[in-house]
Amino acid sequence: MRSVNSRKKKKTFKLKALSPLSQFRFRIVFVLLCLGLGGLLLRVGWLQLFQSDQLRALAREVQTEQKKPLGTRRSILDRNGKLIAIDERRFKIWAHPRYFRFPGDSSRTVRTPVEVAKRLSTPLSKNIDEILNKLGNYSSGVKLAEGLTPEKANTIKKLGISGIDLEVYPQRLYPHGSLFANVVGFLDLDRRPQAGLELSLDGDLKRPEKTSVIRRGADGTPLPIGVQRGVFDEDQLSLQLTLDVRLQEVAVKEISKQVKKWNAKKGVVIVMDIDTGELLALASTPTYNPNKYWDYPPSRFKEWSVQELFEPGSTFKPINLALALEEGVISPNGEVNDDGLVTVGGWPLSNWDRKPNGILTYPEVLQVSSNVGMVKIMNKLNASNYWQWLRRLGIDEIPETDLPGAVSGQIKSKQIFINQPIEPAVTSFGQGFSITPLKLAQLHAMIANGGKLVTPHITKGLRGDYESYFNTPAESKQVLSPEVANTVLGWMETVVSFYDESGIEVNVPGYRIGGKTGTAQKSQDGFNYNSKICSFVASLPINDPRYVVLAVIDEPQKPNAYGSTVALPVAKKIIETLLVIEKIPPSISKKQNLAIKS
């Protein structure tokens, strides 16, 4: 056997001798490094010295968020804090078709309007064709919808469609619709106030918003640098009214029903606190829905209880009797002969039923609503003094009230009033002059509260969770003596008792109520009196007066239209509601009431 010897090959390395590097190469590297470093230093210096302001501005633009005010308004509340008017966030949706892309698309992709319309159809509650018609052939700036709720806007935002922008804006809403339209008014589509408190208290209702600037970090966190005090605070004040939603609902319902029943032109109800002048209800019809004001004629936008005049008729008789008592021309126990007809200055004046009533006490004058009796009573009062009293009551003055558009009443000039005997004669039974329903309620509050003229008002002030600013009404003015006012108030209670005995239901069992009806003739041209205006005013409770309730219905068209048949039923329903809402205890117990009836 032959043996084979294999040899292993070995790798060999050739070593070179070390030699020093070239100094020239070192110098080149060193020079290049110095040039680079010098260039950096020069660039930094250039940026610091010549471009620092521009770069700082660019940085601030990226880091800073500017919050512009939306122009929101304060809410309006009723006396118990229920919302009457409120600003809510709404959104407009704008489309820019040339930028349409879906999440995950490349920057070069542009989606078609049809694809986008399919995704927007459900959240916008619109069909695809409707959206496409709005998009048309426009490439940018197409308003697809407005009035979107925050929920819908958030749904659209989550779709992440590029080319779809959401613009936030405030929208004024009136949750109770027409219930307070006559008082609150409305904003037009450009948010300009057009009527009611929205117009008269525009300055108080605007929230004090300012443009604020906030610097943020890279993650969006607000930085405490340059933040002004209060930048994160929001105005939470609301305007609170004296009105009560519950009472207003009943008032609107009852006055509307009666106006419709009698085919009347319009009607109004006022409920006033006799001591403070606060209005708990101010309802009128016909009215309008401020959320859709464009569907109604502009004539609906005013509140006629403070902006239109009427002749009060017999509801003014208690006021006149108070003036006669105050002047001392009659005594509380006096009498007057009503023979059914009296001639003044050649003018024959008769009672409403053209019948004589014989010898009447002054409470009976109110009970039968004797015109002849009133003419003879007020004839005892000097005409000049009578006219001065009408001025002292503020008949021809604009009342001090926060109700928008209030107007003054009208009386004849002093010369005409004194020199023409017919003027004080017709004034004695509430004609020949004119006032607003609000003024009549104020005068009856004067009788009920002991002779003081209070300031009728509808706003309490600004209310918030941590701070409130309430209004201080003007100080009431003592006009009549308390004794005179209480005497006439007692006479008005006998009127209601007389109505009950006559079959006209006014009283609420257990409560003492005073009142007076009025049926005034109304002239359209100053000569022909072919229509009527019916009213009823009540004060309650007589033992501890707190409220005045007034109902007025203009131009009822059906036969037998009187204050007792047209206006009184409205006031009675409201009185019943008022007694419950305000928790007014009975004046007398049921046992006492049964004893009195027996």
Domains of the chain (ranges, CATH numbers): 245-597 (3.40.710.10)
Q: How far apart are CA 362 and CA 322, in angstroms?
A: 11
Q: State the pLDDT at residue 590.
A: 43
pTM, entire model: 0.82
Q: Quick one: tokens of 260?
A: 């419709």
Half-sphere exposure of 331 (CA within 13 A, CB side): 2
- Kindly state the helix (H) or strand (E) to which residue 426 belongs, with its residue range: helix 422-427
pLDDT at 597: 40
* CA pseudo-torsion sign 80, 443, 288, 404: negative
Longest dimension (CA), the chain: 175
pLDDT (tens digit, 9 = 90+) per residue, 176-198? 999 999 999 999 988 999 999 99
Q: Which of 98, 89, 96, 102 is nearest to 153 (CA)?
A: 89
Strands 547-554 and 358-361: unpaired
CA separation for the pair 312, 9 (Å, rounded) = 137
535 assigned to active site: no
- Within 262-392, residue ranges assigned H as helices are 304-307, 317-327, 362-367, 371-378, 383-392
Instruction: Determine the pLDDT at residue 596.
Output: 37
pLDDT of residue 418: 95
Please answer whether residues 542 and 450 qualify as being in contact, where contact means their C-beta atoms are separated by less than 8 angstroms.
Answer: no
Q: What is the pLDDT of residue 1?
A: 46
The confidence score (pLDDT) of residue 591 equals 43
Q: What is the pLDDT of residue 92?
A: 92
Cα distance between residue 283 and residue 281, in whole Å: 6
- Residue among 238, 314, 428, 535 flagged as catalytic: 314
Give the residue among 514, 346, 365, 491 at the shortest CA–CA distance from 428: 365
Asked if residues 60 and 214 have their Cβ atoms less than 8 Å apart, the reply is: no
Low-confidence ranges of the chain (pLDDT < 50): 1-5, 589-598
How many CB atoms are located within 10 Å of the residue 172 CB? Answer: 22
